[in-house]
């Protein structure tokens, strides 16, 4: 999966969380106005087979965090 973000001045971080912002599964540092985070999620584990919420968040160079964007998915 991919998460994209942009800022009018400069991004510093893009993060992806699974089910809670206490469970960060991926992050990437960014030093431009746009950035992409790519994450390969292993859904073959039995424990992953249920409903999940993916949460994306970005932070700009001034330390401002974006509003969290969420997507609900079901792994079968």
Q: pLDDT tens, 12-68?
A: 999 999 999 999 999 999 999 999 999 999 888 887 899 999 999 999 999 999 999
Q: What is residue 20's predicted lDDT score, i.e. its pLDDT?
A: 95
Q: What is residue 46's predicted lDDT score, i.e. its pLDDT?
A: 80
List C-alpha distances in Å: 8 to 3, 4, 54, 71.
17, 14, 25, 25
Beta carbons of 60 and 7 less than 8 angstroms apart: yes
Q: What is residue 45's predicted lDDT score, i.e. its pLDDT?
A: 83
Q: What is residue 48's predicted lDDT score, i.e. its pLDDT?
A: 83
Burial of 46 (0-12, 13-18, 19+ CB in 10 A): exposed
- Domain coverage including residue 41: 2-74
Number of domains in the chain: 1
> Domain containing 55 — which CATH number?
2.60.40.10
Q: What is residue 61's predicted lDDT score, i.e. its pLDDT?
A: 97
Asked whether the CA dihedral 56, 62, 64, 66 is positive or negative, the reply is negative
Structure tokens at 59: 């932070």
Q: What is residue 7's predicted lDDT score, i.e. its pLDDT?
A: 97
């Amino acid at each position: 999966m991919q998460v994209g973000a942009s800022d009018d001045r400069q991004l510093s971080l893009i993060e992806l969380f699974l089910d809670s912002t206490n469970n960060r599964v991926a992050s990437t540092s960014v030093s431009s106005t746009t950035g992409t985070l790519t994450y390969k999620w292993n859904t073959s584990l039995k424990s992953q087979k249920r409903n999940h919420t993916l949460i994306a968040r970005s932070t700009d160079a001034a330390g401002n965090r974006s509003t969290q964007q969420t997507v609900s998915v079901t792994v079968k």
